[in-house]
Structure 1
Amino acid sequence: MSITTTPDHTALEHLDPQDFRFTRKAWIAATPSRAYDLVSEVSMIGTWSPSASEVSYDDGAGPRAGAWFSGRNRRGDREWTSRSQVLRAEPGETFAFVVEGLVQWCWTFRPLGTGTVAEQSWQLLGLEPVLGTTRAELDALLAHMADSAETTLVALGRWVAEEGGDDAAF
């Protein structure tokens, strides 16, 4: 007798995408305007992110609501290309985008002393099997993305301190 098993996609029905989100923040030695300019110039993200590279706006697009951009992503030994759309682009304040309609990233910038608190948030918008089919898989994705955000914030802060002061070109 042969037993065939199939993934239990009904497990997703019992989960809430709101449970899969986080916010991380770091102080950066730049004005909110400069921090926003760096983050919203999506081609720079590969400079800091351990998970994204080769990011660029579509021809003629830029940091404005409705604009589209593409990039390469990696997690472990998996790599893929993604499409993202800018939701909010408020210079010096907020830069938010949705990736493949599956997750939302939001950056906010708030002055503090001689620099800026840069806050990076991530949230699942829905539960899709491509992201994971069990609570454990989605928890692992959340942990990976939180680690990636922390690494990105630290690397951005270090880059600004070493190379990218308020007057530096990028």
Structure 2
Amino acid sequence: MRGLKASAIACVLALSGCTATTTFNSVQNDVKITVDKYPEAAISSTEQHKYPTTSFGQYEFKAHKEGTEPMYGLLPLKFNGGYLAADIILFAPAAFFNLREVFPFYEFDIDQQVLRYKKEESDAWTEYKPSRVEIERAKAFFGESELPLTISH
């Protein structure tokens, strides 16, 4: 019984510590990106970034280039069915930590205010244009919101 409990704890720790790797690219040169609480990075198709998996969270981003309007939004995340199956078989509460992850490829076009993403390098891009609500959420996250904070009861 003691070994089973230790195995379950080890499994939860392993699954909750999962990360996914992505690369960011940009149509424009000299674009920088800040994602969530992670440090600002220059966008380069050769530089890989790791982000923890999540089930309920989002990754707010700000892409900017000197002299242009910044782009704000939420990174589209992919559902990870393999983790769900492992969670169900090994330890169901782990599903609270790891069902979604970053896509492997993102491409920013800040002039068009569009983010493209895909799973495989050979796939066609899927376009994402942040909604007004997503833009304001990201601006508020970075402390740059123009809208006052309202609290509803």
Do these two structures clear the TM 0.5 threshold for a shared fold by scoring above it? no
Structure possessing the higher relative contact order (Cα contacts under 8 Å, 6 or more residues apart): 1
**What TM-score results when the alignment is normalised by the length of structure 2?**
0.29
